[in-house]
Amino acid sequence: MRTMKRMTQIFLLSLLALAFAATAQAANPDWFYKNLVTIEYVKPLVKVPHPEGVVLIDARPYMTKYAQGYIPTAISIPDSEFEKKLDLLPKDKNTTLVYYCEGPECRLSHSSAKKAEALGYVNVKVFPGGYPEWVKAGLPAKAAASAKGRKAKPAAKAVDVYPAIGLETVKDMITKGETFLLVDSRPLVKFLEGSIPSAISIPDSAFDKKTGLLPADKAAQLVFFCGGYACPLSHSSAKKALALGYSNVKVFEAGEPAWTKAYGAAGGGLKVQAGGAEGAFNVEQFKKILAEKPESLMVIDVREPDEFKAGHIKGAVNMTVNELEKKLKGMAFDRPVVFACTTGARSGEAFYMTREMRKDVKDVYYLEATITCSKDNVCEITDNKKK
């Protein structure tokens, strides 16, 4: 009798388990991957030293999504490029792979997870909430800065992790002249050896002593960086900035090493060729740099705003001669500056004004050229001495 009762219980439990599984399956679309995890599972993965045997993978497109912002510590393997980037996957097939993309409606992470399983990975999971859920949760989590799977020192100090942006996004922000403050959190000696154009130095160790360098507007965008994915200094500085009330704080995790590898250090050892008149930048060299490495120069267009709006050199910042005179004393010059206008007259005036007011600035030039630009910022630059 007891045996019969026991068998009945087991049978009922089996039915309940099957019913639960069927309900769970019905709750998710057919294309969902079988192994799902929650944000609580993901939080502890976002730290340095990075947990061994686990890789967090962003399956979204790189430029349009990942570079604009991603879950810190995640590596980018877009689902559309899965086969092209197999070398980024760990060799150990027992490694836990956690994929995510753009939320419950996004199929990319599920697609990548199935591909990884087909390759023989035995511990594959999907975080269906993805990046939107991470952002909505208002993280950082109480974790630590990422090493993206790279080996870090065991004694690494835990710090909070903050919203991360990619290399190309930082470059675009600089090139387009967007209003933000780029902060190098490394020691000053590292900054002096070479940094990212337009960055200022606020070493994390001296942060409290240099808060006066931060903007008065607490809504201003701040982007911190340091020595790469394994460096916690930028995250530490981001935490301090938030504590001061700044609300728009991000971290460029790849940092100075990635920038230098892609574009070279600030200034890049640029040797300027004279353009004839004193302070004139060689027009042909300028065009070449503009085409190949525009971020190595700061171009300041000194025309009126309506002229600038009608068409200008891509990446140029608009600042009339009158505005320049008011701002010169406080301006930071961390890369060669080239003034531009329509004919070379106002740009020449800006050059001599800068030479007079800022005798400490050496790398300042102007274009002795006639410049005409279309509304889509395609410009024809003609050397005045060749006209």
Please give the Cα distance from 237 to 77 (Å, whole number): 29
Q: What is the pLDDT of residues 13-49, one digit of tens each?
A: 455 544 444 444 446 788 899 999 999 999 988 875 5
Q: Is residue 9 included in any domain, yes or no?
A: no
Strands 369-373 and 379-383 come out as antiparallel
What band does 360 get if pLDDT is binned at 50, 70 and 90? confident
Q: Is residue 212 included in any domain, yes or no?
A: yes
Residues in Cβ contact with 288 at an 8 Å cutoff, skipping those fewer than 6 apart: none
List beta partners, residue 383.
Answer: 369
258 in the same domain as 325: no
Cis peptide bond N-terminal to 49, omega within 30: yes
Following DSSP, what letter does each residue of 208-222 receive, concatenated? GG-GGGS-S-TTSEE
Q: Is residue 231 included in any domain, yes or no?
A: yes
Burial class of 69 by CB neighbour count within 10 A (0 to 12, 13 to 18, 19+): middle
Q: Is residue 23 included in any domain, yes or no?
A: no
Question: Which pLDDT score, from 0 to 100, does residue 270 have?
Answer: 52
Query: Do residues 65 and 102 touch, judged by C-beta distance below 8 A?
Result: yes
94 in the same domain as 47: yes
173 in the same domain as 126: no
Please give the Cα distance from 237 to 249 (Å, whole number): 10
Q: Is residue 71 included in any domain, yes or no?
A: yes
CATH number at residue 236: 3.40.250.10
218 in the same domain as 292: no
What band does 91 get if pLDDT is binned at 50, 70 and 90? very high
Q: What is the pLDDT of residues 259-293, one digit of tens each?
A: 888 876 554 445 555 555 678 888 888 888 888 88
334 in the same domain as 255: no
CA torsion, points 93, 29, 20, 35, in degrees to nearest 10? Answer: 10
Q: Is residue 378 included in any domain, yes or no?
A: yes
Q: How many residues are present in the chain?
A: 387
What is the count of structural domains for the chain? 3
Structural domain that includes position 192: 167-263
Q: Is residue 32 included in any domain, yes or no?
A: no
Angle between helices 255-263 and 167-175 (to 10 degrees): 70
Q: Is residue 329 included in any domain, yes or no?
A: yes
Identify the top-confidence range among 111-115, 196-200, 231-235: 111-115
Q: Considering 120, 136, 152, which residue would you say is the last residue of a domain?
A: 136
Please give the Cα distance from 320 to 350 (Å, whole number): 9
Question: Which pLDDT score, from 0 to 100, does residue 305 have?
Answer: 93
Nearest to 100 by CA among 152, 41, 49: 41
